[in-house]
Structure 1
Amino acid sequence: MEENRKIIKGNIAFTPRFGKLEVRENSFIVIEGKQVKGIYCELPAEYKNISVTDYQDALIIPGLVDLHFHAPQFANRGLGFDLELLPWLEGYTFPEEAKFINAAYAQEVYKKVVTELWKWGTTRVVLFGTIHKEATAKLMELLAQAGLGGYVGKVNMDRNSPDILIETTEQSLTATEDYIKDTVDRYQLVKPILTPRFVPTCTPELMAGIAKLAKKYNLPVQSHLSENAGEIAWVKELHPECQNYASVYHKFGLFGQQPTIMAHCVYNDDTEIELMAKSKVYVAHCPYSNNNLASGIAPVRKYIDNGIIVGLGTDVAGGHEVSMAKVMAMAVQVSKLKWLATDKKEKFFTIPEVFYMATKGGGSFFGKVGSFEDGYEFDALVIDDSCLEVSAYNRYSIEERLSRFLYIGDYKNIVARYIAGAKIEQPQF
């Protein structure tokens, strides 16, 4: 049994509840297999013969979870931000994604994506691929090879798309089912996810078919919802029979019938919010992307107050940062603008609140992930923030140190990464 156990020591911080930062200074975490078995100020006698990895004054926090990342757009980070969403897709995104028909190019880009995820401390991630089955399977393989956890989706598009990125409905569904069969049981920590790009690029027949596949293979779903005013108007033109954007997905079985993530959700009305809460739909809040593409500021506090689970996403390449720490900081910043825009009615977020979103909130999509409570899978980052100290006279609290890491730290502060109980070294591709 001892060889299946490990113990690490340091300054432990996690959020068992939204907004509640629990701190255990100079304490021990006992891990058995994949799971946390307890946190102790002093080790019980039964653990005395197990060696301890002592990280001394470092912070030990849960691994960071990114609920929305477009892996094939990685090369486009920082490009086209003088445009809004729809012209940006046409001018930058679709031409880049078309390149992934080339397997060698896909592998080159995806190696960099996975390495960057590891570098910045993302331990679990939900990824969009492209329509290309082989390239998307390679992305999944590389993610698993690196020891990271995630869901990877082959994108579905059968209308309103460039010829080079469009499939027939039958082609899209057949290729998607082949992709599922090839990958669903291949890796322990990486699984497929059904990925209709968004309503404008998916016919009713395709959406209904994707929903059937999700149910048949018991797989989750990811897509986009109400990111941009022009997009919402387009959906209304395509589906005048539906009350709103969310009801289109719901009509075709893609809105909580299986575990579902909807990215952005900037402009959802009260009827949609009620449906989202009832359907247990997750929101992937992507503040960098919403800023860069002038989409708007999502009413995230309202979602949480209505019982909707909100995680955070980088939304590469609409977002230019891979770092979830920076996304947390930006989520606080844009919430302050929302506070002002709502006449100071919608409270801005605190560090413990966004920390929860990036750990236990988003992590719950993967099960018991994102916390150090007993029975949770041990995903963790060890943060050496000593270089951020200004003077020996400054004595920061653990919460203050966490805040400083989010705002002014970087990947060099992350000295160890653990996923599902295993220490993960830098990928060697």
Structure 2
Amino acid sequence: MAPSSSKTLSPTLHLGQTLSFTGSPFTEGAEAARHENAGALLVEGGVIREIGTAEALRAAHPAAKLVDHGAALIVPGFVDAHAHYPQTGMIASWGKRLIDWLNHYTFPTEARFAERSYADEIAGRYLDLLLAHGTTSVCSYCTIHPESVEALFSAAEARGMRVFAGKTCMDRDTAPEFLRDSAQSAYDDSKALLERWHGRGRAEYVITPRFSPTSTPGQLQALGALWAEHPEVLMQTHLSEQTDEIAWVKSLYPQARDYLDTYEAYGLLGERGLYGHAIHLEPREHARLKEVNAALVHCPTSNTFIGSGLFDMDGLTKAGLRVGLATDTGGGSSFSMLRTMAAAYEVAQLRHHPLHPSALLWLATQGSAISLMAEDRIGNLAPGLEADFTVLDLASTPAIAQRVAQAEDIWEALFPTIMMGDDRAVRATYVAGRQML
């Protein structure tokens, strides 16, 4: 998908409803959100310069180019905090639990990424699917092949997107031989990719051991050493997704106190750590994650699709843990963060703690940005942030429109789109101020 050819250097004033955040709805309630029915967003040089009422900003900037989105809602671009872009082509594969699912679907698919042309094809397709669904940033696992990382960062660079990614590392015989590296090559390849890409444009490298069952202690130690050498980057992995996975980890690491300890023992626990799933945490794990201020990533469509369990959003957020939201493509069954928000609502309902629409939108935007330590750049509509935003049609289908017609406030108007919306609800997607959709 090519960016819009229109010039974006001069100030542009986007008119429409706006929704931004001054805090977290988990601590401040819906009052943490700021809604303007007749709002405006001033964008210049790829950055948000001002946000306010249309009347005030039009008066203050009479020469600005106007883009009128009518009654549509301008929200921060969605931020997907955990995904596997190589699994794009195998999304919605039928059945199986995690371990069988990996062996039957995931690993054969990932083997194809040794071929750079194939990696380029999928990377471009994947990012275009994200943009079509209003997602402007993603944190993705790649494969063991450096080519897969090069492909994703190159595709993101061409589109101007802020993307977080890293080479997935696996050297244990629990992974198929055709998808194994080694402790040394994992360190060397990751370091070379980090030095080539981290901080280049909007690229951010992430050290990426897949999870402890597919890494030897030597590989985890090597990646822990790399993280110690580069504490400015993120580290991502999986934690306590399924009960049979946890039993597997304990059999492979009998000396470990718990699953988290298999990372902690090798220097892979820290504030810039991202731990996907985290459904079945033990008390010590919960306490240590909180103590180091690590981030957890909730993947609700994946957790229900693969039958993993119900994430404890209420308990973890009340404890003060940072939580992001993610599709977990392709274990997750949708590229859409709207569908992901709906699934998060459904999971929370099953745990008897329903989430307000403000909390759902916050999780998909600023909450995920905070989990990625990137809230100073993305995830909100505020002066100084990068101009990544999505324009939502709140009446995109007849079913949604008839419900919205009865809405008495912005939350009643937005919630039907969260629950029933799809890519038809995304009227436009902007990346660094450029229209991509």
Query: Does the pair score TM above 0.5?
Result: yes
How far apart are the structure 1 equivalents of 2:168 and 2:309? 25
Per-residue CA deviations over 1:102-159 (Å, capped at 9, x if unaligned) read: 2222222222111101111111100111000012211111122122211111000110
The answer to whether residue 419 in structure 2 is matched with residue 410 in structure 1 is: no
Write out aligned runs for 1:357-396 (5 A): 357-364=363-370, 365=372, 366-368=374-376, 369-388=378-397, 389-390=401-402, 394-395=406-407
Equivalent residue for 2:4? none
Letter in 2 for 1:16: T
The answer to whether the Cα contact below 8 Å between 1:68 and 1:126 also exists between their aligned partners in 2 is yes
| Structure 2: runs of 5 or more not aligned | 1-7
Matches within 5 A, 1:259-338: 259-338=272-351
Instruction: Compute the displacement of 1:393 (Å).
Output: 6.0
Q: Tell me how large the CA RMSD over aligned residues is.
A: 2.0
Q: Where does residue 91 of structure 2 map in the other structure?
A: 77
- How many residues are treated as equivalent by the alignment? 414
The answer as to whether partners of 1:118 and 1:148 remain within 8 angstroms in 2 is: no
Work out the CA distance in 2 between the residues paired with 1:191 and 1:39.
Answer: 27
Residues 237, 391 of structure 1: alpha-carbon distance in 2 compared, 3 angstrom cutoff = closer
Q: Which amino acid aligns with 1:22?
A: R
Distance 1:183 1:210, change over 3 A: same
Q: Percent identity?
A: 28
Query: Does 1:136 pair with 2:149?
Result: yes
Q: Distance in 2 between matches of 1:90 and 1:246?
A: 23
1:16 aligned partner: 22
Q: Please report how far the alpha carbon of residue 351 of structure 1 lies from its aligned counterpart in structure 2 after TM superposition.
A: 1.3
State whether structure 2 residue 130 is matched by structure 1 residue 117: yes
Matched, 1:100 2:109: no
Contact 2:239 2:275 in 1 (8 A): yes
- Per the alignment, residue 25 of structure 1 pairs with 37
TM-score (norm 1): 0.91
Contact 2:166/2:208 (8 A) holds in 1: yes
Tell me whether 1:348 sits opposite 2:354 in the alignment.
Answer: yes
Q: What's 2:3 paired with? A: none
State how far apart, in whole Å, the 1-side matches of 2:43 and 2:298 are: 31
Q: Which amino acid aligns with 2:236?
A: Q
Q: Given the alignment of the two structures, is residue 149 of structure 1 paired with residue 162 of structure 2, yes or no?
A: yes
1:253 to 264, 267, 278: 267
Aligned mate of 2:103, from 71, 90, 104:
90
| 8 Å contact kept, 1:16–1:360 | no
For residue 193 of structure 1, what is the aligned residue in structure 2? 206
State which drifts further: 3-12 or 285-294.
Answer: 3-12
Match of 1:40 among 52, 56, 66: 52
Structure 2 CA distance, aligned partners of 1:363 and 1:168? 32
Distance 1:386 1:354 in 2: 19
- Structure 1: gaps of 5 or more residues: 340-346
Q: CA deviation at 1:424?
A: 3.3
Q: Which moved more, 1:397-406 or 1:265-274?
A: 397-406
Q: Which residue of 2 aligns with 1:68?
A: 82
Q: Which amino acid aligns with 1:148?
A: M
Deviant stretches of 4+, over 6 Å: none
CA distance in 2, matches of 1:393, 1:17: 29
Structure 1 residues 91 and 32, CA, compared in 2 at 3 Å: closer, same or farther?
A: same
Structure 1 position 10, deviation (Å) = 0.8
Equivalent position SS for 1:48: coil
User: Match of 2:409?
Assistant: 397
User: Structure 2 length as normaliser, TM-score?
Assistant: 0.90
